[in-house]
Amino acid sequence: MSSRHKITPFPLRMPAEVKEYLDGKAEKEERSLNWLICKVLKEAMESEQGKIQASS
């Protein structure tokens, strides 16, 4: 079994307008909502890490 099948589901609550925005963006990119949320969070994480390294 691949590692992606070992990931525990994570219920995420969000305001309806945020979900509608992300649903539309995911549809335009022909990707799943899960993929888009992971992409946005990873980009935020990398951006934060870059700021920390730049200030060191």
Q: What is the pLDDT of residues 33-55, one digit of tens each?
A: 999 999 999 999 999 888 888 88
Q: Quick check: 2 pLDDT over 90?
A: no
Q: Let me know if 9 is exposed, middle or buried by CB neighbors in 10 A (0-12, 13-18, 19+).
A: exposed
Give the number of domains in the chain: 1
Contact indicator for 22, 36 with CB cutoff of 8 Å: yes
Q: Structural domain of residue 41, as residue ranges? A: 15-55
**Start-to-end CA span in the chain (Å):** 40
Contact indicator for 29, 36 with CB cutoff of 8 Å: yes
Q: Quick check: 4 pLDDT over 90?
A: no
Report pLDDT digits (tens) over 6-34.
Answer: 888 889 999 999 999 999 999 999 999 99
Does 49 fall in a domain?
A: yes
For residue 36, the model assigns a pLDDT of: 96
Contact indicator for 23, 36 with CB cutoff of 8 Å: no
Does 39 fall in a domain?
A: yes
